[in-house]
Homo-oligomer: A and B are copies of this chain.
Amino acid sequence: MSRAVTLRDVARVADVSAKTVSRVVNGDAHVTPSTRERVQRAIDDLGFEPNLVARSLRVGRADAIGLVVESLADPFFARLTSAVEQAALERGLAVMISSVGDLPDREAVVVRSLLVRQVAGLIVVPVAETHAHLEDPRQRTPVVFVDRRPDGMDGDAVVVDDLAAAETATRHLLAHGHRRVGFLGSQTRNPTTRLRLEGYRRALAAHGVAEDPALVALGAGTAQTAREAAEQLFAGPQPPTAVFASNMRCSLGLVPFLHSSGRTDVAVVGFDDFPMADSLLPAVTVIDHEPEAVGRAAAERLFRRLAEPDVPAETVVVPVRLVQRGSGELPPPAGTTGPRGADGGEDDPGRTTDAPVQQDGTREWEMAQEGGGRS
Please give the residue numbers on chain A whose beta carbons come within 8 Å of chain B beta carbons, in ascending order: 1-2, 4, 47, 49-54, 56-57, 62, 64, 71-73, 75, 78-79, 81-82, 85-86, 89, 92, 94-99, 101, 110, 112-118, 136, 139-140, 223, 252, 255-256, 259-260, 274-281
Contacts and interface: CB of A to CB of B under 8 A. Distances in A.
Contacts of A53: 53, 56-57, 62, 117-118
Contact of A1 (B72, B92, B110, B140): B140
A116 B53 CA distance: 8
A51 B85 contact: no
Given A49-B112, A82-B73, A255 B279 contact: yes
Nearest to A88: B98
Contact of A78 (B73, B274, B279): B73
A328 to B, nearest CB: 16
**What secondary structure prevails in chain A residues at the interface with B?**
mixed
B260 A116 contact: no
B51 A116 contact: yes
Q: How many copies does the complex hold?
A: 2
A96 B98 contact: no
B54 A116 contact: no
A317 to B, nearest CB: 23
A100 to B, nearest CB: 10
A2 B82 CA distance: 34
A221 B271 CA distance: 27
Contact of A279 (B4, B82, B114, B256): B256
Of listed A62, A71, A86, A276, residue having the most chain B CB within 10 A: A276
Given A275-B276, A276-B276, A279-B255, A85 B97 contact: yes
A110 B86 CA distance: 11
B99 A85 contact: yes
A50 B117 CA distance: 9
Nearest to A257: B279
A68 to B, nearest CB: 11
A95 B72 CA distance: 13
Nearest to A256: B279
A277 to B, nearest CB: 8
A175 B268 CA distance: 38
Contacts of A56: 53
A1 B309 CA distance: 12
A79 B89 contact: no
Given A89-B110, A279-B280, A118 B78 contact: no
A82 B89 contact: no
A98 B113 CA distance: 19
5 contacts: A47-B136, A73-B75, A85-B99, A92-B113, A276-B280
A308 B73 CA distance: 31
Contact of A72 (B85, B112, B278): B85
